[in-house]
Amino acid sequence: MKKRLITLVLLIATSSMQSAFAFKLHNPFSKKSKQEAEKMVQTREEWEEKAKNVNLEDRKISPYQRPQDKDFKPKTPPSVKFVKYNVTAGNREVSFSKIKKELDIKSQGVFDRNLRYMAYGQYYYSPSYDQISSEIYVQKLKNGITKMRKALDANVLNAKSTLAISSGDKELRKNLFSTLTIVDFSSDSKKLLVKEKIGSSIEGIFRNYVWVYYMEGDEAQWFAIKFNNLNETIKKYHAKTGLALDNYRWDIKPLGFSKNEPEIVVVEAFAWDKDKKQVFLGLWGIDCYNASVKLISNTPTPVEISANGVIVKEFLP
């Protein structure tokens, strides 16, 4: 019996040793031997040298590739083209609501037909006075590049623009609006036609004026003329027929430059009677160089108006 117990103990001990030895050979958690252990970095130089030999192959990341969509079509950018500005013959107007919302805005640039100049309006709104004032600026364009490149490079924020005409900036008055609107350039690119509208947001239009800005010679020689004599001529003409225009709301609208007589600015005049019905006051012409005023027609008559200025417009593909 005693011998059997000794034999059993020996078998168990032998089995345990074999298991321990096998675990030691295959234990994944066992530490590296002294021969395999990496030497600890001691100095900065050793660290820099060791950093040069780091294997980055397993750290490379493939760039993201967007899944292909069979129905996907790349967007085509809009095309830009020149379009005539004064195609509606003097019907361009300034948006009061936009000025009051933005407080300080610039209009889109208008170019002469030869792409020498760009003109634009700047408009200011004073909320405390409910007043609008305005200015017209002219900017010389660069030479030696294509016409479209000239237009696209032009900037209404350019500080080199020349102040041509201003309105409503010399007095503070409740509910007053003084707006300047570009009508058109002349065919020779030397003149800019501008409409000035003065009135009250409560009482309506007081009066309109025609301005021409002359751009001949150096910029220092450029100047503007306000044709007050047109308004006075129209008043005197109708006073002879017994119509006192001072007792009515009346207005003038410069249509543009005459196509047949390029130096003549064509203007419509009209009033409103007590029933707010529009009354035609004649079609008039102003000579830009001698300031003479003539009556073209007493009745609405079709007149050819040239459309010289252009703007840049985007067209969707």
Cα–Cα distance measured from residue 52 to residue 43, given in angstroms and rounded to the nearest whole number: 15
pLDDT at residue number 169: 78
Cα–Cα distance measured from residue 153 to residue 180, given in angstroms and rounded to the nearest whole number: 25
pLDDT at residue number 222: 94
Cα–Cα distance measured from residue 91 to residue 107, given in angstroms and rounded to the nearest whole number: 15
Does the pLDDT at position 111 exceed 50? yes
- How much is the average pLDDT of 148-173? 84
pLDDT at residue number 21: 46
Cβ-Cβ contacts under 8 Å for 255 (sequence gap 6 or more) = 89, 90, 183, 266, 267, 268, 303, 305
Does the pLDDT at position 122 exceed 90? yes
pLDDT at residue number 23: 44
Q: Per DSSP, which regions of 109-190 are E strands?
A: 110-111, 117-126, 131-140, 162-167, 176-185
3-state secondary structure of 166: strand
Does the pLDDT at position 192 exceed 70? yes
What does the mean pLDDT of the chain come to?
84
Token reading at 49: 């040298």
Entry field: residues in the chain: 317
Token reading at 159: 């500080």
Cα distances (Å, whole numbers) of residue 10 to 2, 4, 69: 13, 10, 74
Tell me the domain boundaries of the chain.
Answer: 79-315
pLDDT in tens, 133-146: 999 999 998 876 78
